[in-house]
Amino acid sequence: MMTTSTRLKPVQGFAERKERDAALVFGDAQRQVQTESEKLEQLREYHREYLERFHKAAVAGIQAARMIEFRAFLAKLEQAIAEQEKVLGSARDLNHRAKLAWQEKQSRSKAIGKVVDNHRYQEYRQQEKKEQTEQDERNQHLKPMH
């Protein structure tokens, strides 16, 4: 006869695989947030450096055409920063959703694990009780009758 805990093992395995899969997706999402955050920081640093060069050039005296080029490039950098902020925001949203999905799968997996463990414990207790009863019966038959 197959025990309940044995019958639930495939369900538990399935839930654990789903949890692992969700953890992998969450890990990928975390790495994506880190990558996009680094890209944004690089763009901001480059913007600061370029702005500093622009100010130095302006103080030293700069031709109008060169100033227009500086400003146009700064505007492009600012647009790239704004776009990267959007990309980072999307990555953070995806990361948040992946974390919630992983937590839900983890919770489900733990719950199923507890159910299996409880059934296993109950089956163990029943087996122990059965063995004790059998032992008691054997001992009763072995007692000499007076």
pLDDT digits (tens, 9 = 90+) for 37-51: 999 999 999 999 999
The pLDDT value recorded for residue 58 is 85
Q: With 80 as the cut, is the pLDDT of residue 1 above it?
A: no
pLDDT (tens digit per residue) in 15-64: 999 999 999 999 999 999 999 999 999 999 999 999 999 898 888 888 88
Nearest CA-CA partner of 122 in 13, 46, 37, 8: 8
pLDDT (tens digit per residue) in 84-93: 999 999 999 9
User: What's the CATH class of domain 9-130?
Assistant: mainly alpha
The pLDDT value recorded for residue 34 is 98
DSSP 38-81: HHHHHHHHHHHHHHHHHHHHHHH---HHHHHHHHHHHHHHHHHH
Whole-prediction pTM value? Answer: 0.74
Within 10 A of 130 (CB to CB), how many other CB atoms are there? 10
